[in-house]
Amino acid sequence: MTEQFVDWINALPGWVREMGIVILSATPDEVSCEWEVTEKHHQGYGIVHGGVHCGVIETLASVGAAVVARARAQRVVGLENNTSFIRAVRSGKLHAVARPVTRGRTTQVWEAWIRDDKERLVAQGRVRLLCVDENQALG
């Protein structure tokens, strides 16, 4: 199921595809991705915008939490994203991994780490997500 889920996520229109992020794996225990840094990821000083790091961390946490929630007939929505920026990046390939801290019935917490091609930590974060019944309206 998770391989099909990964294919489905990578085919969706939106931010992930526009940013060139490729989800590599998605299980209840770990989600991973990679992408090549280009100018579209930069802020005015020519380094990766912090919002990109926040977005990647939230994406991986959301994907992992969704894998868990689907088995319980739930969906997840983000409640909180705390991301720290550790190292500035101008180019190269980045990869990220997220793992669960807790996969509770009503909330989940996931942590994620973004690293460069030399395995140096670029950013790290924690996302808290709300689990809602799949039939409950969002928004």
Tell me which residues are annotated as active site. 58
* Pairwise CA distance, residues 47 & 68, whole Å: 34
* Pairwise CA distance, residues 25 & 8, whole Å: 12
Torsion on CA atoms 118, 119, 120, 124, rounded to nearest 10: 150
113 near 42, Cβ under 8 Å?
no
* Pairwise CA distance, residues 41 & 99, whole Å: 24
* Pairwise CA distance, residues 33 & 40, whole Å: 18
